[in-house]
């Protein structure tokens, strides 16, 4: 793709290489096939060489999730120098630290099109007030530098606009998606049977799993407590934890499993890449996170016909139809989590019906191609504006007039054209 010239140079910036490998790789390949010159920037990690081998150039600039002023300043300078040297036309950032540093550096380097994807509102239930305000200020700074802000979740977008983190005219709904065809339970049963044998789990034993980075924020502590409650009523149930370890949480969580006497029925599997086979093994998947963007694990579980039990938070509410494709439970409530899982396990027919409906929903709503097309159209819109109409393009810079902040706003009406959509915040949404 080019606008009357050579291919448009696009770089996606994330804090960790894992995000490029597992969240962005298909999108970057789509953009490459559409004619863009695409590369990525992330910290060094085990997936960098695999990403490069797949045809996506990667530049390594160290960034970390924690607030580290000196290291953050070094990363900011390195990003700025890279953007100035490489003359990217689009800088698209993801994840909290990369959004902040990447957008600041891109603005200083005067990159023509700067896009920030909000992968979930960073403040969550139980976070101290000062910490919520700090995260809000950091997100606000990222939004100020960006030309265009994508939100994966509708409720997160509404919250960001309502709390003055991002002006409505910059905010656009993106959504999230997966390769639905890849996750088909019926085609993965042979592999699943082999995995069950490898784990040493009895044939027919129900398996309840949690999938995600091993950290307290993902609800692992509540999941382990729920496992103990479930085992007190159902000795046949087994449990899996799939995801990369978090150095700050791993030892405490492993100790919790041991303290509750769950070692014989609980398996820590670490990072796995053959997830369709693992999903085919599962009876129920739990996602008791404190906050999420628009979680792919729910989409993957749905595409694999596995019922979900997840936290009653905005992102999960957007993806799960309670009682039809899964259940929602209060955040940080182990007993409610256990009871919801038991409810599904007690009624296999209902569980199968939920799995069928979840698969149909995935086929209808979770395909990744429309997401990729929205990203591509945003690049074209912004670069078209930067080539002579930046200050007059209504899609780019004009705030909505009073009273037009609704689902039928100017940008919102474009959703039906398959391009992009404004989040649409009504007056009632803005009320306290």
CATH code (residue 379): 3.40.50.2000
Tally the domains of the chain: 2
> By C-alpha distance, which of 188, 369, 362 is closest to 279?
188
Instruction: Tell whether 229 is covered by a domain.
Output: yes
pLDDT at 386: 59
Helix (H) or strand (E) holding 160: helix 154-162
Please indicate, yes or no, whether residues 235 and 329 belong to a single structural domain of this protein: yes
CB–CB of 271/101 below 8 Å? no
The per-residue pLDDT for 184 is 80
290 occurs within a structural domain: yes
Which pLDDT value is given to residue 101?
A: 97
CA distance 90 to 331: 38
Residues 33 and 142 in one domain: yes
Residue ending a domain, among 350, 365, 380, is 365
Domain contains 120: yes
For residues 303 and 284, the answer to whether their CB atoms sit within 8 Å is no
Give the pair of three-digit tokens for residue 19: 């995000």
Q: Are residues 52 and 145 in the same domain?
A: yes
Q: Is residue 2 part of a domain?
A: no
The answer as to whether 389 is a domain residue is yes
Alpha-carbon span 81 to 75, nearest angstrom? 10
pLDDT confidence of residue 2? 53
Domain assignment of residue 1, yes or no: no
Q: Are residues 99 and 193 in the same domain?
A: no
87 plus 125 within the same structural domain: yes
Give the pLDDT of residue 400: 31
d(CA 328, CA 340): 8
Residue 107 falls inside a structural domain: yes
Mean pLDDT per block of 10 residues along the chain (432 residues) reads 75 96 96 97 96 97 90 97 97 94 97 92 64 82 94 90 92 94 77 87 95 94 98 97 84 95 96 92 96 92 96 94 97 98 97 97 96 96 66 33 34 34 37 33
Domain of residue 21: give its range.
9-178+368-430
**Judgement on whether residues 76 and 104 belong to the same structural domain of the protein:** yes
Could you tell me if 399 and 331 lie in one domain? no
> Domain end: 322, 347, 365, which one?
365
- Last residue within a domain, chosen from 313, 331, 365: 365
Residue 67 lies in a domain: yes
């Amino acid at each position: 793709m080019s606008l009357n010239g050579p291919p448009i140079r696009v770089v996606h910036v994330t804090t960790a290489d894992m995000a490029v490998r597992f969240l962005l790789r298909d999108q970057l390949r789509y953009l490459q096939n559409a004619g863009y010159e695409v590369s990525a920037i992330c910290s060094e990690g085990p997936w960098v060489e695999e990403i490069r081998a797949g045809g996506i150039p990667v530049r390594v600039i160290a960034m970390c999730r924690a607030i580290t002023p000196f290291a953050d300043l070094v990363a900011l300078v390195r990003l700025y120098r890279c953007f100035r040297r490489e003359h990217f036309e689009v800088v698209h950032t993801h994840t909290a630290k990369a959004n902040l540093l990447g957008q600041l550096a891109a603005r200083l380097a005067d990159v023509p099109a700067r896009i920030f994807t909000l992968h979930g509102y960073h403040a969550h239930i139980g976070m101290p007030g000062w910490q919520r305000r700090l995260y809000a200020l950091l997100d606000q700074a990222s939004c100020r530098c960006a030309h265009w802000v994508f939100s994966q979740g509708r409720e997160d977008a509404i919250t960001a606009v309502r709390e003055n983190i991002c002006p409505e005219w910059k905010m656009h709904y993106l959504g999230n998606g997966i390769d639905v065809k890849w996750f088909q339970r019926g085609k993965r049963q042979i592999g699943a049977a082999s995995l069950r044998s490898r784990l040493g789990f009895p044939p027919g034993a129900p398996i309840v799993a949690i999938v995600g980075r091993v950290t307290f924020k993902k609800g692992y502590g509540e999941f382990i407590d729920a496992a103990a409650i479930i085992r007190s009523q159902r000795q046949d149930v087994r449990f899996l934890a799939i995801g990369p370890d978090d150095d700050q949480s791993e030892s405490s969580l492993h100790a919790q499993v041991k303290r509750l006497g769950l070692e014989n029925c609980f398996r820590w599997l670490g990072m796995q890449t053959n997830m369709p086979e693992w999903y085919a093994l599962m009876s129920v998947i739990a996602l008791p996170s404190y906050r999420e963007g628009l979680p792919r694990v729910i989409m993957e579980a749905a595409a694999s016909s596995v019922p979900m039990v997840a936290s009653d938070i905005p992102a999960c509410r957007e993806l799960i139809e309670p009682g039809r494709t899964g259940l929602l439970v209060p955040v940080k409530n182990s007993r409610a989590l256990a009871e919801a899982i038991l409810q599904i396990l007690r009624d296999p027919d209902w569980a199968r019906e939920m799995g069928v409906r979840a698969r149909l929903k995935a086929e209808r709503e979770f395909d990744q191609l429309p997401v990729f097309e929205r990203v591509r159209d945003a690049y074209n819109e912004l670069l078209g504006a930067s080539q002579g109409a930046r200050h007059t393009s209504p899609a780019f810079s004009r705030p909505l007039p009073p009273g037009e902040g609704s689902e039928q706003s100017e940008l919102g009406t474009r959703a039906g054209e398959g391009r992009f959509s404004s989040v649409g915040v009504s007056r009632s949404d803005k009320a306290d």
